[in-house]
Amino acid sequence: MFKLTDKIAIVTGASRGIGKSIAETLEKAGAQVMCVSRHLEDVQKIADNLGNAGSEAMGFACDVSDTKSVTSLVQSIIEKYHRIDILINNAGITKDALIMRMSERDWDDVLNTNLKGAFNMTKAVSRTMMKNRTGRIINISSIIGLTGNPGQINYAASKAGLIGLTKTTAKEFASRNITANCIAPGYIETDMSNAINEKKKETLMKQIPLGRIGKPEDIASMVQFLSSDEAGFITGQTITVDGGMVL
Ligand SMILES: NC(=O)c1ccc[n+]([C@@H]2O[C@H](COP(=O)([O-])OP(=O)(O)OC[C@H]3O[C@@H](n4cnc5c(N)ncnc54)[C@H](OP(=O)(O)O)[C@@H]3O)[C@@H](O)[C@H]2O)c1
3 falls within a domain: no
pLDDT over 70 at 83, yes or no: yes
226 falls within a domain: yes
E strand residue ranges, the chain? 8-12, 32-37, 58-61, 86-89, 135-140, 178-185, 238-241
pLDDT over 90 at 95, yes or no: yes
Q: What is the pLDDT of residue 194?
A: 87
Q: Is 63 in the pocket of ligand 1 (CB under 6 A)?
A: yes
Ligand 1 centroid, distance to 175 Cα (angstroms): 31
| Smallest CA separation from ligand 1 atom 43, residue | 13
Ligand 1 centroid, distance to 177 Cα (angstroms): 28
Q: Say whether 61 sits in a helix, a strand or coil.
A: strand
247 falls within a domain: no
pLDDT tens-place string over residues 2-47: 999 999 999 999 999 999 999 999 999 999 999 999 999 999 999 9
1 falls within a domain: no
Question: Containing domain of residue 91, as a range?
Answer: 8-239
148 falls within a domain: yes
245 falls within a domain: no
List phi, psi (to 5°) of 228: -85, 165
CATH number of the CATH domain containing 17: 3.40.50.720
Number of domains present in the structure of the chain: 1
Q: Is 173 within 8 Å of 130 (Cβ atoms)?
A: yes
Ligand 1 centroid, distance to 19 Cα (angstroms): 7
246 falls within a domain: no
33 falls within a domain: yes
Q: What is the pLDDT of residue 101?
A: 98
